[in-house]
Structure 1
Amino acid sequence: MAKSLTLVLNKPKTWLLLFAWAFLIIFAVKFVINDALPYYGFDEEVYGRFWIMKWPLIGHISGGLIALTIGPFQFWTGFRKRYRKIHRVMGLTYITAILIGTISSVNLALTTGMAVHWTWALSLIALAFAWISTTGLAFRFILLGRIQMHKEWMVRSYVVTFAFVLFRWLNSTQVFVEMGNFIERGPTMIWVSWVIPLFITELILQWNKK
């Protein structure tokens, strides 16, 4: 067992994958602590203009947090093979969380989003559509027993899930801050946060096919 583990860890690709997951998890934890958890204090000052839409916002945040947390376990091969029933339950929970998050985000887009600008609302709806579409296709392929396609669409789904974390980071970078007011930079950041990562993911998925 120890020998097999040593052989696995000696593979550069394995180390690279572990490093990537560690970076993503740390990045996500920072987002959760700084940007998500404060909303659960239900302080009107924290919510600002979102106070009247606090429940859709909580639904959106909760759905995203659950999906972010469950994702790594779903991709963990050892966990998946050893705990198949738990893997299925967590998978259904992941889908439900994203469904709740999507409905909530569309609700926000059509209300507070439109109050900002129609381009902002449109970018939010497009992201919500990408989120539920990639997840829905992953679910469809597992029902059809097409495991490889299911795995690929789950990867795409998690990339889109991570867009919310990436958006928060982009919004704090100097490059985007200098673009102007939020109406100008907000929609651009939303598109960048999922379209480019999804494009890179697609290149990797197709490159690795034999």
Structure 2
Amino acid sequence: MTLHASRPATGARPPRRRRPGWLLPAGLITLGLLPIVANALRRIALAVGAPEAASAGAGAMSLPVVLHVLGATVFVTLGALQFSAGFRRRRPTWHRIAGRVAILGALLAAFSGLWLAFATLPDSSVLLFAFRLLAATGMAVSIVRGFLAIRHRKLPQHRAWMIRAFALGLGAATQVFTLGFGELLFGKGELSVALLNGAGWAINLAVAEWAIRRRAARVPSRRGGAGAEAGR
């Protein structure tokens, strides 16, 4: 009797190495908190380095700024954790509770963003005001549509709208780079600052739409593969 060593099936794919489930949420939280921490450090530096500026209120934050920072911090932190599939499976109750709190934080950030857009209108260009208005409104609309979708058990639509809302919420983080590098190339003119701010939101939305469509394309292929295996 001859023994033959078992060989792997021809064309069999090696198992894919999965990335750690915490990697994406950790990266999103770090990116989202970057402008918040940078702004806090800048205000501390103003208050400490220039006492006369601090006494004039340069290091203080107005009410809409405080509300915006609070809402954005809650949304970025809890919203990023929703992207961990393993965490959602292991703690479904926590996922629902954290999701509701994240929605409240997002709405607070969106409406305080609208407040800030109108409050800073005298010091900003009409184009920058329009970008801020569109971003805040788009974020609020995305959150509401995502919430209504999950209430009707429409999970793909819920996921897509929440991804769009999160992308708009991360606009300030991307603007750290678009403004930082863009101003070196194009200067700090009124038009360039507005366009560089708009680029931050546009880049995030482009990535969000790519992620949404990539997942939508993978789901039918998985179902088709499972159906083919079942029919054998």
> Which amino acid is 1:170 matched to?
T
Deviations 1:62-105 (A, max 9, x none): 11111111122111122212222221121111111111111111
Quote the Cα distance in structure 1 between the aligned partners of 2:44 and 2:105: 17
Quote the Cα distance in structure 2 between the aligned partners of 1:138 and 1:82: 22
Tell me the TM-score normalised to structure 2 length.
Answer: 0.72
Aligned to 1:184: 191
Equivalences for 1:21-32 in 2 at 5 Å?
A: 21-32=25-36
Equivalences for 1:162-201 in 2 at 5 Å?
A: 162-173=170-181, 175-201=182-208
Quote the Cα distance in structure 1 between the aligned partners of 2:46 and 2:142: 32
Q: How many residues get paired?
A: 197
Backbone CA RMSD of aligned residues: 2.9
Quote the Cα distance in structure 1 between the aligned partners of 2:202 and 2:76: 18
Q: Percent identity?
A: 19
In the TM superposition, residue 40 of structure 1 has moved relative to its aligned partner by 8.5
2:119 to 90, 93, 111: 111
Equivalences for 1:65-80 in 2 at 5 Å?
A: 65-80=73-88
Deviations 1:157-203 (A, max 9, x none): 21111111111232222x33332325222221222112232123213
| Cα pair distance change 1:136/1:41, threshold 3 Å | farther
Quote the Cα distance in structure 1 between the aligned partners of 2:38 and 2:194: 22
2:39 to 24, 35, 45: 35
Aligned to 2:214: 207
In the TM superposition, residue 117 of structure 1 has moved relative to its aligned partner by 2.1
| 3-state SS of paired residue (2:180) | coil
Say which one has the larger Rg: 2
Quote the Cα distance in structure 1 between the aligned partners of 2:169 and 2:40: 14
Structure 1: gaps spanning 5 or more residues: 1-9
* Higher share in helix: 1
> Which amino acid is 2:196 matched to?
M
> Which amino acid is 1:185 matched to?
S
Quote the Cα distance in structure 2 between the aligned partners of 1:123 and 1:25: 24
Aligned to 2:156: 148
Tell me the TM-score normalised to structure 1 length.
Answer: 0.79
Deviations 1:103-152 (A, max 9, x none): 11111111213332222211111110121122121111001111122112
Structure 2: gaps spanning 5 or more residues: 1-14, 48-52, 221-232
